[in-house]
Structure 1
């Protein structure tokens, strides 16, 4: 694994505008950054990232039945009592799921270490599935990358295929919804709508704020039509905390992601995985936090924190890092395993699962060991030949 400087495409911003990638720059700072890329060998991709992703996904899925069947585990994960039967029923009915993302620390040498699972509302999807593939094709055509350079990326094809598989199980009409003012989330649902349409599954787009609730407890669109299926790019735990969400269990609404994903998108899953697979090379030791002073060599994470918010690190050498944010409540501790540094940049590898298949990666790079919402997206390539590079340090 190497970080390789490369000349950026002169027209990348025009290409981004043409395909609707409007959040390539956020608050004047680059989000998409193609001035470098991460180079992997095929063996690193297949053995260190793809295979562990499949194994860890299977391990996580294997815990769902135990969790939804246990009041004490649901309590431990801070799942509100009002929603537990609904979540368990969605699992018993095997309501189908679309996708998820596993986040890893990986340096190209040792085993990739799982930081967390983003299995409810994973983002950075369009840039991973589409725009970085376009970058690869352009850079091969320009001669800046070898003709045989490749990429671990069949995410787009997997999404289209998966939507085709979901079609028969989703009651119409289908609606895709995200927060109105989030350009990234709106861009993500626009991309997913396109993937679904390519599979023959058509759905309307709505702002989440425009969804109504009828007198008999059904969710409706702007025409007061009852919504049959809803892809919502909005955290389930936030719906649980909102009075608007209390109608969900009896509404008849089919959700993507399904309610049972609430137990996999919860960081409380990490101590459970460790307890049942203690010593697994891709897992970090984890336990439920009991409060108080964070010992050296550990990281504290709230069960529902996102985008690197409210993370507290106390490294083995005594160094401390902390990120602000809106999250509080129960937390876990995870053994500290800092992200590797490549010339002062800290990449985190996001491994995409569509259905139950590992099908690609995207890399978010920060200037800090905490990957925050301001982290840049940097493309990757599979390049076997030696190339000038900044090596892991």
Structure 2
């Protein structure tokens, strides 16, 4: 459904405009979509699951996380601390990732690009393990400080190695912000810098360089943007897995209550949960307050042993890759929310 909606958006300028993506990138977005085969490694879908059924909240198609916790930490717990008749539903995640890399169009050497964040350190190392298992050489780049230019103006790392294939933990939206900061006017071309030795390397100079192959690809910003949710609802109204979502608070949302979410928000920031009595049930702050919002039917997480529990499933190479649980004492799952132990019991 998400891919069908993505295709519809990329064929319609009026729909694409709803995503607030710099217009200079629209041709690249469409080209990225045309080349999508074997060019996406992994994402994560967030669900609510209880006695009412299963509902999808969103699809983190670009720069999803929680792989290390599900595929490594909980797997170690399941191996050493759990003695029952069951298994970790993400036990094969590392193998699935390695398989996706083997079938990808990645070049033999992959630079793993991450921000200087502790969580991203182990996320990068987990993906590096999958790449090594798939037979690739790698180097982790923490920040952009060691990147520069060679005499021919090509992008190189601190060891002088050409950078032409990257997997990133950064969100594409960070690169979009850099484009917005350069100028508000229309560009004749994407404003990436040339390889002059005095030019500092920015994120857009890497991710938007034509010769650099990037995972996850540019087109993933469409299904990963919450502006896709009203379009999904319009294409598949009243589908049992979807929640009514709109760009305004419609009459049905007033009746059910609704969640207010910024279209490119992350980590549970700037979300309001409003009941059908117009009571604010929960509210988070963050840096996305200036973004456009969507309004999604209120569908609160179930509370289990004092925590609200969300089901997260990983997509790997377009297929199911594993499941984990996230929990929080508040109704909104955030960056600091816990990863909960999960075992699937065999009967």
**Shorter-normalised TM range:** 0.7 to 0.9
Alpha-carbon contact 2:144-2:203 (below 8 Å) kept = no
1:372 is aligned, of 319, 334, 340, to: 334
**Which deviations, in whole Å up to 9, do the C-alpha atoms of 1:97-143 show, x marking residues without a partner?**
00010000112x23211111111011111111121122112234xxx
Question: Number of residue pairs matched?
Answer: 316
Q: Which residue of 2 aligns with 1:6?
A: none
Q: Deviations over 1:15-44 (max 9, x none)?
A: xxxxxxxxxxxxxxxxxxxxxxxxxxxxxx
Quote the RMSD (CA, aligned, Å). 2.2
Aligned to 1:47: none
Unaligned runs of 5+ in 2: 180-201
Q: How does 1:1-393 map to 2 (within 5 A)?
A: 59-94=1-36, 96-107=39-50, 109-140=51-82, 145-146=83-84, 148-153=85-90, 154-166=92-104, 169-180=105-116, 182-210=117-145, 212=147, 214=149, 219-243=155-179, 244-247=202-205, 248-289=207-248, 295=254, 297-320=257-280, 321-327=282-288, 328-383=290-345
Structure 1 residue ranges, 4+ long, deviating more than 6 angstroms after superposition: none
Distance 1:239 1:250 in 2: 12
How far has the Cα of 1:220 moved from its partner? 3.0
More off after superposition, 364-373 vs 310-319: 310-319
The alignment partner of 1:106 has SS state of: strand
8 Å CA contact 1:218, 1:253 repeated in 2: no
Q: What are the ranges of 5 or more consecutive residues in structure 1 without an aligned counterpart?
A: 1-58, 386-393
Instruction: Write the deviation string for residues 263-320 of structure 1: whole angstroms up to 9, x where unpaired.
Output: 11101111111110111111000011479xx946011100111111000110124431
Change over 3 Å in CA distance of 1:119–1:212 after alignment to 2: same
Q: Is the 8 A contact 2:19 2:263 kept in 1?
A: yes
Q: CA deviation at 1:246?
A: 4.7
The alpha carbon displacement at 1:193 in A equals: 0.5
- Are 1:350 and 1:362, in contact at CA under 8 Å, matched by a contact in 2? yes
Q: Using the alignment, how far apart are the partners of 2:159 and 2:168 within structure 1?
A: 18
TM-aligned CA deviation for residue 70 of structure 1 = 2.1
Distance verdict in 2 for CA 1:285–1:211, change over 3 Å = farther
TM (norm. structure 2) is 0.85
Distance in 2 (alpha carbons) for counterparts of 1:348 and 1:269: 21
Give the C-alpha shift of residue 355 in structure 1. 0.7
Q: Distance in 1 between matches of 2:153 and 2:263?
A: 29
Output the CA distance in 2 between the equivalents of 1:270 and 1:381: 30
Q: How many Å separate the matches in 2 of 1:316 and 1:229?
A: 49
* SS of equivalent residue, structure 1 residue 241: helix
1:213 and 1:88 map into 2 onto residues whose CA distance is 29
Q: 1:318 to 1:290 in 2, by over 3 A?
A: closer
Q: 1:184-208, CA deviations, whole angstroms, 9 ceiling, x for partnerless residues?
A: 1111011101111011012111113
Q: CA deviation at 1:176?
A: 0.1
SS of 1:299's equivalent in the other structure is strand
TM-score, length basis structure 1:
0.76
Residues 346-355 or 309-318, more deviating: 309-318
User: Which string of whole-angstrom CA distances, capped at 9 and with x for unpartnered residues, describes residues 219-261 of structure 1?
Assistant: 4322454311111100101111115355454532110001111
